[in-house]
Amino acid sequence: MSHYTANLRDIEFCLFDLLGRDKVLGSSIYSELDRDTAMGMLEEMKRLTENDLAASFVEGDRIGTDFNKATGDIKLPESFKKSYKAYVDGEWWRLDAPVDLGGMKVPASVRWAIAEMVLGSNPAIHIYASGYAFAQVAYVLGTDVQKKMAKHMVDRHWGATMQLTEPDAGSDVGAGRSKAVQQPDGTWHITGTKRFITSGDADIYDNIMHFTLARREGGGPGTKGLSLFLIPKFMFDLETGELGKRNGVYVTNVEHKMGLNVSATCEMNLGEKEPAVGYLLGDVHEGIFQMFKVIEFARMMVGTKAIATLSAGYLQALAYAKTRVQGGDMKVMNDKASPRVTIIKHPDVRRSLMVQKAYSEGMRALVLYTASIQDEIELAHAAGDTEKLETMEKLNDLLLPVVKGFGSEKSWTLLGTESLQTFGGSGFTQDWPLEQYVRDAKIDTLYEGTTAIQGLDFFFRKVVKDGGRALGLLGKEIQAFAETGGVHAAEKQALLKALADLNGIIGVLVGHAMASQEKADEIYKVGLSTSRALMAVGDVIISWLLLRQADIAAEKLAAGAGKDTDFYTGKIASAKFFVATVLPHITADRKIVEATDSTIMEIPESAF
């Protein structure tokens, strides 16, 4: 039996009942895709992920990658290659490829709903298939010649990597030392070492295009001196795409990891054996700006992966709790002769399941809400509505670190403390997929910037730099909803209180940031609380989305829900549970932030 079950009913509810995506389908730039076609795609992906893609999930973990250090080549398990081929043969790559090169114009909301199922079933498949999304970047930002390269990437199904991190620099990208020297023919020779490069090599495609940050000769310090180069594994004919000689970019090591073992995480050497020939993307030295187009996609993917894994873990835990018989009902626990019951009858198991349900469904709504903003960006761009475009872009920027940072942190924590715990000792064994879910999900808090980095990015770049406009806009929307009252009036009052506490947290941090202009060490108080602020933002947004779902569910029940009665009842229950058990913590968080001082920074290192 497959380890994976797609929660398509909830995906459908989020897309169409909560977010009204049927209103954008069948019109404007999405005219070729209506609701029925979108649902057909989602249903087909559910079938594919629960069968062909899920089939190699366990074996990919157990076998992992086979690295030939002499050649720098990596082989993947045959079962995984079969699953990957099923994805490519099903032409799902068209969702990410440029439309001009055979891609399909699909709203981001539908695209990420489909991606959730792939990432929950066998995440490495989606990761290895990133070449099509990278081709989109090369096609949009590249020269006419590089647009041809993008076409070869799509037509020949090449892979791609994002090469930022270096051994000494880590997350401090601007400290990178890889060097690029221009050649008489206009190409560049790049030298250096990159680390933690995902999909650095694999035998599922003929060629790989490495999107590599390097400092051009004479380039200044920091991120501003970085440029982005396209470095192929094999040189190729620019007109035909036919492969030529080996280029000087080699895998020199594959990391032995805690999880996600079938995804090759590599150390890469550039220019040691022979020149690593690269092409300056767009013929402009705007590397960090260009790379952020890739990073934004990657952060959305990582958050979606984490949340998809939590959903899979919750559904596994739920199924186990409904069948595992252990202990008697708590009401008669002293009566040893009383009938044994399934563990879902036990109060703390129910509490645990409801935590998992509320977060997995709430964070799915967060991902798809963010994706719906991306829909609106495309629509505004197509309509030439510059005011709406700017607003939606700011809102998307605000939400991305929440999707990635909050989503990954909560998913990893809940998978280990709740989903796995539901299984008791069995969860710690390889008899069930939870231990692999936990190991695979931990990387999500580290990929594309740790949770602390996401918190700093959220506060300094998305709130302070923006003057709080996007956060204020979102806050007003949440407040307007919370003031509507109705059937969930009490819960909406609690949401208003949490929103006020969140605004208080942000206000305190802004005050510290301003004070640091006069007294530099005041900034430490900000750094000590940005992760807490990010978690609070996520919880408030989740509460808002869950209560919106609960209102819709109440209307459906009042009208007679039929076979969906339990589904809608569960929606209301999870929203009420979340508001009652999670939101009070934000009041406590505000008190903690208000009381935070910087004395911890004064403790000598030897005292730790």
CA 262-297-294 angle, 5° bins: 90
DSSP string spanning 68-117?
A: ETTTTEEE--HHHHHHHHHHHHTTGGGGTS-GGGT-----HHHHHHHHHH
Sign of the CA dihedral 69, 70, 74, 79? Answer: negative
Element (H, E) at 135: helix 131-141
| Euclidean distance between CA atoms 81 and 65, whole angstroms | 12
Query: Which one-letter DSSP state was computed for residue 423?
Result: T
> Sign of the CA dihedral 73, 78, 83, 87?
positive
Alpha helices in 522-564 (DSSP H): 523-527, 530-559
Could you tell me the two tokens for 541? 């947004």
Q: Provide the pairing of β-strand 159-163 with 179-182.
A: unpaired
**Torsions phi, psi of 598, nearest 5?**
-105, 25
Per-position b or e across 170-200, b if 16+ CB within 10 A of its CB: eeebeebebbbeeeeeebbbbbbbbbbbbbb
Instruction: Give the integer Cα–Cα distance in Å for 366 and 534.
Output: 14
Contact 529, 459 (CB under 8 A): no
**d(Cα 359, Cα 321) in Å, to the nearest integer?**
18
Set 448, 477, 483, 602: catalytic member: 448
> Chain centroid to CA 203: how far?
26
Catalytic annotation present for 448: yes
Q: Give the Cα separation of 9 and 567 in Å (integer).
A: 9
Q: Check: CB of residue 405 under 8 Å from CB of residue 146.
A: no
Q: Which residues contact 559 (CB under 8 A, 6 or more apart)?
A: none
Distances (CA, A) of 408 to 238, 373, 441, 585: 40, 20, 8, 19
> What's the DSSP call for residue 480?
H
The radius of gyration of the chain's CA atoms, rounded to the nearest angstrom, is 25
**Residue 562, token pair as written in the block:** 């039929």
Name the burial class of residue 19, with classes exposed (0-12), middle (13-18) and buried (19+) by CB atoms within 10 angstroms of its CB: buried
CA 481, 486, 492, 496 dihedral sign is positive
Q: Please answer whether residues 486 and 551 qualify as being in contact, where contact means their C-beta atoms are separated by less than 8 angstroms.
A: yes
Place of tokens 């695979």: 440
Which residues touch 250 (CB under 8 Å, ≥6 apart)? 72, 268, 269, 272, 273
- Token pair recorded at residue 142: 């590249």
Active site residues: 448
